[in-house]
Structures are given as structure tokens and as C-alpha cells.
Amino acid sequence: MKVGELLESSGAGGSRSIIAYTNDKNAGFETEMDSILPSDDLKQGSLHSKNSHGNDVKIVPDEDEVITRRTVVKGHSNPEESVVISCGTPEIVGNGSFGVVFRTKVKETGEDVVIKKVLQDRRFKNRELEIMKLISHPNLIDLKYYFLEQSDQELYLNLIVDYMPMSLYQRLKEFISLHQPMDRYEIKIYMFQLFKSLNYLHQVVNVCHRDIKPQNILVDPDTLLLKICDLGSAKQLKPNEPNVSYICSRYYRAPELIFGATNYTTKIDIWSAGCVMAELLLGQPIFPGESKIDQLVEIIKVLGTPTREEICSMNENYSEHKFPQIRPIPLNRIFKKETQETIDLLYHIMKYDPNIRYSALQCMFNSTYFTDIVSNTGSDSNLSLIDSLPLLHFEESELQGLSSNDIYRLTGKLI
């Protein structure tokens, strides 16, 4: 069975059909791919391909064109369910070495969506697709549909996901451009949702994102809804299976990764989340290293020289290495205007030893930083915001390991 046929063009101003056959063995989905999709900054551009006659065809249609995709698979259907959807004129929002991203609207549902188009190696499974089919959480980008697209020589995977107005990086830049600090309650709402989504990834589906950074976190500034996106580097971690250490964008890279650990845990995401939180508070990255070594230097300048035991916890092969002795800087000297509750949470995240670094659930539950959210206290507008998102709705699987009393303290209700 052929994987797909790219398009049938009816000429300028006409409509165009893209027929895609999906996820079967002939599409090259038999084995696992341990590769990383680069998270380059998106740049404006256009995308071209070839039609069946070898002529160059622009993928983005003219304004009066409509794209119809047939045999598109619903993202979470099991067994796979195919549907027909029609999309309006797509708007390129960027491209990079990973592929092309554009925004459009599904005419049948009226949903604004984003399509991420990536080159698919026929020999391997696409790990991002496989993980996105697994996950379903209000704070994770949702896979609506997917389809394969065949050109003369290449196979492309298209992931259709929900649209969000901007990234957290863009939101922070808005405040910086106004010479204003980001609203502290807005930061708190975002961070609670970030830890909530990481807890789901880590505890429910055993997935490590491995590239948490402001550019990979999407937000709606009107509702303060947050969603993690771009699972191109994500992986289900398995015991005794080594992982690549050269992962995660540099400013947000956990120290055990810099030390070359290959048996790391989901705690690397927590470190990254702490770096994101610090950046929102400071208005700039807390550890702006210019290289791998410089990144470690930036961390040591704040946390001090790691002890032999801490080095061993990150990578036992480095336990005999000697480092210059640097004293730590108290976090309250860096975050001079922040509350003690804020500093305490960062203190429990910024740990060399991943074994004592807080988990996502501990960040929500053990931290007094989120007390007003967890206890439903605060102004009427804040309480309304908590209910509307809703922040305190958890599935039972998200709270595994907590006692009934702990669950009540976290959610205000018994599950």
C-alpha cells in the first residue's frame, strides 16, 4: 500500500486535495528513533514541494484556496479513526531545521490549529507522535489529528495541534519592552500549571520532556492558561537504558547533564522549570552560559562548588575531579524583592543532587509558595481565575503516593 499522494492541483484560484494514508508498517513505523528534533528559533519563510509531474508547487495556497485533507487520523483514537477535515488558508508562523509550522482553521469545527510539518524517516517511528498519542492533559498541547504526506522523494509527518496565542518567552518580552516586571500572581499561576503538567508527564506516562524553556511553553495572557508544547526531544525513560546527555537548551540544562550523566531522571525537567521561574522573576536567564563549561561556571557562581557527594550523585565518574572552591550566593541576595516562600521553592529546585531536588508534585504540595492557590484563598478575582482554569482538578493517577489528608490539602477535596 502506498503511503500517500501529495496533491492534485486544479490551477490558480482552485481548490486542492491532499490525500494522506496513515500510520501503518509500510509507513516506516516499525522501530524506535532516538533522535532529537532541534528547537531552532522559528523564522519566516515559505514551503515548496513537487507534484506528481515534478513541477514545483507552493504548499501555502492563495487566499481563495482551500486545502482538504482526507483520511486524517484523530489524535487519540484507538483503534485509529479516520475523518475528513477541511482547512482554511494556512499562515506560515515559522520554519527551522525541524520543519515548518503554520496556523490554520478546521472548517468543520471552527478550531484554530497549528500544523507542524516534519520530515519523516521511513525506517523509524516518530517518537514525538507516539508520545503525543499517549498524553491528554489540559496543560499539554493536544494532538487533534495527524497525517502523512508523500512527495516524489520524501515522506512528511503533519501534527495538527491546538493553537495558543503566544509563548511564555514572548509574554515575558512584552513586560520587558514596557520596562515592567511580570505580574507576580501571573507567574504563580503559570508555574503551578507548569508543575502540574510535568507531574502528569513524569508520574502518569513516565515521559521526560527534556527541553523545558520559555519558548516551549505556550500561554494565553487573557485566561492565563498554559500548555507545554514541542515534544520533539521527549522520551519515556526506562530503567538501565542509557540516554543522551547532550539534551535540553543550554540555559535550562540540569547540572547532571553537563556532567555527562546518561542515567538521569525526570528531575532534569524540574531544574529547567526552576530556571524558567527564575527568568520570569528576574527578567533574564539566571544561568546565561556561553558554552557547556561556562554554563557550569554560571551555576557554580550561584550554588557554590558541588561537594564530592553531590558530584557523585550527578555522575560518579567525576567524583575524583577537583574544582575551585566557590562559596554559594544566598538566593535572597539574587531575588531581593521576592517573598521567602518564592525563595524557598527555588532553593528546593536548585539542587545539584537530583535525588533531593523536589519533584513536580512536591513543588505544588510541599511549597508554601502555592498556598493561596491550594487553599483557595485570596481576592475574589483570583479565586474566580483558579476555578476557571481549573487549577485544582486532578485525576487520581496524578496524585499517586499521596495520603488522603495530603490530597485534601492539595485540592481541597477528597478523591
Tell me the pLDDT tens digit for each residue of 47-76.
333 333 333 333 344 455 555 555 678 888
**Helices 168-177 and 267-282, axial angle in degrees (round to 10):** 20
For residue 266, the SS3 value is: coil
Reduced DSSP (H G I as helix, E B as strand, rest coil) percent helix, strand, coil of the chain, to 5: 35, 20, 45
> Which pLDDT value is given to residue 384?
75
Eight-class DSSP state of 104: E
Residues 6 or more apart in contact with residue 227 via CB below 8 angstroms: 138, 139, 140, 141, 142, 162, 164, 197, 217, 218, 219
Q: C-alpha cell of 89?
A: 488558508
Buried/exposed code over 62-90 (b: 16+ C-beta within 10 A; e: otherwise): eeebebebbebbbbeeeeeeeeebbbbbb
Question: 64-112 pLDDT, tens per residue?
Answer: 555 555 567 888 877 789 888 888 888 998 777 678 999 999 988 899 9
> Which pLDDT value is given to residue 377?
62
Is pLDDT of 381 > 90? no
> Which pLDDT value is given to residue 43?
31
- Compare 318 and 295 and report the one with higher pLDDT: 295
Task: Answer yes or no: is 117 a known binding residue.
Answer: yes
**DSSP E strand stretches across 179-334:** 207-208, 217-220, 225-228, 235-236
Question: Which residue in this structure is represented by grid cell 545539584?
Answer: 352
- Compare 354 and 407 and report the one with higher pLDDT: 354
Q: Are 87 and 66 in contact (CB under 8 A)?
A: yes
Strand partners, 73: 82, 146
Residues 6 or more apart in contact with residue 302 via CB below 8 angstroms: 286, 287, 328, 329, 331, 334, 350
Task: Check 56, 152, 183, 211 and give the catalytic one.
Answer: 211
Is pLDDT of 265 > 70? yes
Residues 6 or more apart in contact with residue 320 via CB below 8 angstroms: none
The yes-or-no answer on residue 222 being catalytic is: no
> Which pLDDT value is given to residue 90?
86
Q: What is the largest CA-CA distance in the chain?
A: 71
- Compare 27 and 162 and report the one with higher pLDDT: 162
Predicted confidence band at 32 (pLDDT cuts at 50, 70, 90)? very low
Is pLDDT of 232 > 80? yes
> Which pLDDT value is given to residue 338?
98
For residue 301, the SS3 value is: helix
Tell me the mean pLDDT in the region 389-397: 86
CATH numbers and ranges of domains, the chain = 83-163 (3.30.200.20), 166-411 (1.10.510.10)
> Which pLDDT value is given to residue 207?
98
Q: How far apart are CA 22 and CA 126, in angstroms?
A: 13
Mean pLDDT of the residues in the chain: 82
- Compare 123 and 312 and report the one with higher pLDDT: 312
Q: How far apart are CA 50 and CA 58, in angstroms?
A: 8
Tell me the mean pLDDT in the region 248-276: 97
- Compare 131 and 46 and report the one with higher pLDDT: 131
Tell me the mean pLDDT in the region 219-239: 95
